Amino acid sequence: MGAVVFPIQKFYDQTSELVGIKSGLLLSDTDINSILKEKFEDTFLDNQSKDQIIRLRSEAIELMIKYIRIRIGNIPSAPKVNYYKILAKYLKDIEDFKIHGLYLGYAINQTNLGLEMTYESLKKEISKNKKLNDELIDALTFTIMEQIDDGITFPPSYNLDGAAPLQSLFELEVFPMSDNTFIDQKFIDYLAVNGNEIEEIHWRNFERFVAEYFQRQGLTVVLGSGQNDGGVDIRVFNEKNTKDPLILIQCKRYKSENKVSIETVKAFHSDVVYENAKLGLIATTSRVATGGKKVVNARNYNISVAEKENVKKWATTMWNK
């Protein structure tokens, strides 16, 4: 591959657009710059004049975009299986590698025609070759799809209607694309990799995040209005009893240095008792004060707590990796 010559600003614009197409998250120049500086030492990242012309090899741009996607949770840092090692086991010479080239060409052609190319559709095509065993089919499918996905060529047609600025997660309530979810997967993926930032997100998005976690446990979840809710943010029901809540949840999106007070715990217990809930849960991005935990134990409150490390793990369990 050759080199690309363009102004620094165009690099940021096209990087944001391409990452947006692949992940659904639109990154600002500052977002991109901050992430790339973690790994790359290119001098243009320190240049204040975005009109300056730079020259980057296509391979370098691919690496940068892939790193950004890893850092925002769009793709895992490494696959669970080393499919390239499996390929090496089966493809011993140039003739063998023609198999890989054949299906890579097929995938590229389908993509260039604007046809959807998924892991499942490519595997189905490769599986037509009865000479290949399942292990090699999986290896061919994964490596080819990775090559297609890593490409920095814009598709023939696309739109960014479903994309959202990453900063919106932190600045305002974000409504999901689907009525069947509380928060879009792209934001969960981001939090799965950047769990420490969960205390910075908008408080309402934290409530949506918690509601989504419990809905994925197969429970019926009712998210409150976010205003004048009397201290109860989420009600969780099971299918056998839709009258009395199984769990009442109070969400506290606090900075790490701010703890949930003993007064909050005691007041919340009153709500749990009043609504005849089986369990009360305080979910926080910080911690519950020691005094609050002692009261729960001493008075045998039916209250559990999920603190920052717990809710960070919720994100990783919901990660679409």
- Other CB atoms closer than 10 Å to residue 27's CB: what's the count? 23
Among the ranges given (76-80, 98-102, 173-177, 265-269), the one the predictor scored with the smallest mean pLDDT? 76-80
| Domain end among 30, 46, 71 | 71
In the predicted model, what is the mean pLDDT of residues 226-239? 86
In tens, the pLDDT along 95-122 reads 778 899 999 999 999 888 878 789 999 9
* Structure token digits, residue 109: 């052609």
Q: Would you mind telling me the total number of residues written for the chain in this entry?
A: 321
| Domain end among 71, 100, 130 | 71
CA torsion, ordered 239, 243, 246, 251, to nearest 10 deg: 120
Question: Taking the model in full, what pTM does it have?
Answer: 0.89
Question: Mean pLDDT score of the chain, rounded to an integer?
Answer: 93
In a domain, 77, yes or no: no
- Pair (184, 289) in one structural domain: yes
What pLDDT sits at residue 81?
84
What pLDDT sits at residue 1?
57
pLDDT at 151 over 90: no
Beta strands of 109-246 (E only): which ranges? 164-165, 220-223, 234-237
Rg (CA), the chain: 24
Q: CA 210, CA 182: separation in Å to the nearest integer?
A: 9
In a domain, 116, yes or no: yes
Burial annotation 234-248 (CB, 10 A radius, 16+ → b, else e): bbbbeeeeeeebbbb
- Pair (100, 186) in one structural domain: no
- Pair (172, 313) in one structural domain: yes
In a domain, 159, yes or no: no
The residue whose two tokens read 């976010």 is: 226
Q: CA 30, CA 59: separation in Å to the nearest integer?
A: 22
In the predicted model, what is the mean pLDDT of residues 162-170? 96
pLDDT at 164 over 60: yes
- Pair (193, 141) in one structural domain: no
Give me the domain span that covers residue 91. 83-150
In a domain, 156, yes or no: no
pLDDT at 70 over 60: yes
- Other CB atoms closer than 10 Å to residue 221's CB: what's the count? 19
Is the separation of the CB atoms in 31 and 166 below 8 Å? yes
In tens, the pLDDT along 251-262 reads 999 999 999 999
Number of domains in the chain: 3
pLDDT at 154 over 90: no
- Pair (183, 101) in one structural domain: no
3-state secondary structure of 280: strand
In a domain, 162, yes or no: no
| Domain end among 100, 115, 150 | 150
Degrees, nearest 5: CA angle 102-105-111: 145
